[in-house]
Amino acid sequence: MTADRSFVAACATMRSTRDPLTNRDAAVRLVREAADAGADLVQTPEMTSLVERSREALFAKVAPEERDPTLAGLREVARERGVVVHVGSLAVRNGDKIANRAFVIDREGEIVARYDKIHLFDVDLPNGESWRESATYTGGGEAVVAPTPWGPLGVTICYDVRFPALYRALAEAGAIMLSAPACFTRQTGEAHWHVLHRARAIETGSFMISAAQGGLHEDGRETFGHSLIVDPWGRLLAESGAEPGLVLARIDPALAADARGRIPALRHARPFRVAHGADSVPRRLDAAE
């Protein structure tokens, strides 16, 4: 009989403020509550430690990774409760810019993976919202698969979820769980958050686990919330609203292999070229040829 390798994953929905220490305390409290509820892995959202639109205020409040109080607090609570903590992201100083960096922390409080957000959110939305992450943040250049006791976890952040090639690459590299913890705007979240997560799960035969910021923040932005856990067949296992709190779901890693066996799309990919105009018409051969 195959041993049960299932585990309980928790997503912490937050409404992070402009005060890093307040946010640290909220994140640590949610990890403790999740552990008390039976969670083995706890994920926090993008920008766990600080949601701050002002570039000047952001730079005044962030520190290098080695001096970040939220990272230190979450490493400590991982050791204290013996849980894996996936920090959706923190803003950390990186030269003359800031890195939007995720961390995976093991049960001993050691950092086993780091990921800097690759795709930066530079958009103008129909409601007048305008975002230019590239003005403040450095973009990463490396996809990351983190080890966990239950299988490899592909680590991404927020806007990355719109780039399916990244998730396929992570799945092809062995990830059976994928994540996109986020600070999604309410407008784009209402339109696309659920369908993007279900699509990434279905395309790769992977779990999608994504904690989210939710509600009206001190800096004036409104985020969508709706932390999600989706299984490899695209079924929704758990979902929050916009209010801070926890959602939990039991994850059976074997379901990834099952979904990939039913629809082996990762193995069926074939190389192709894109043709234009007359190049797309197969050349007709003469009988003499």
Query: Which of the four pLDDT bands, split at 50, 70 and 90, describes residue 97?
Result: confident
- pLDDT value at 115 more than 70: yes
| Domain harbouring 111, CATH code | 3.60.110.10
Total number of domains constituting the chain = 1
Residue 97 annotated to the active site: no
2 domain residue, yes or no: no
Burial of 8 by CB count in 10 Å (0-12 exposed, 13-18 middle, 19+ buried)?
middle
- pLDDT value at 98 more than 80: yes
Catalytic residue among 52, 133, 158, 239: 158
259 domain residue, yes or no: yes
Per-residue DSSP letters for 48-72? SS-----HHHHHHH---GGG-HHHH
Q: Which residues contact 39 (CB under 8 A, 6 or more apart)?
A: 8, 9, 10, 83, 246, 248
Query: Which of the four pLDDT bands, split at 50, 70 and 90, describes residue 286?
Result: low
287 domain residue, yes or no: no
Comparing C-alpha atoms, which of 9, 16, 2 is closest to residue 213? 16
DSSP-based three-state secondary structure for 235: coil
Residue 117 annotated to the active site: yes
Comparing C-alpha atoms, which of 246, 197, 288 is closest to residue 42? 246
283 domain residue, yes or no: no
Cα radius of gyration (the chain): 20
Residue 183 annotated to the active site: no
Output the furthest CA–CA distance in the chain (Å, rounded): 81
CB-based contact 43:102 (threshold 8 Å): no
238 domain residue, yes or no: yes
276 domain residue, yes or no: no
Domain membership of residue 240 as a residue range: 7-268
| Residue pLDDT, tens place only, 5-49 | 999 999 999 999 999 999 999 999 999 999 999 999 999 999 999
| Residue pLDDT, tens place only, 51-96 | 998 889 999 999 999 999 999 999 999 999 999 999 999 999 988 8
Catalytic residue among 46, 52, 133, 239: 46
282 domain residue, yes or no: no
Q: What is the pLDDT of residue 277?
A: 84
- Indicate whether this model's pTM tops 0.75: yes
| Residue pLDDT, tens place only, 227-284 | 999 999 999 999 999 999 999 999 999 999 999 999 999 999 999 999 988 777 666 5
C-alpha–C-alpha distance, residues 205 and 260, integer Å: 5
284 domain residue, yes or no: no
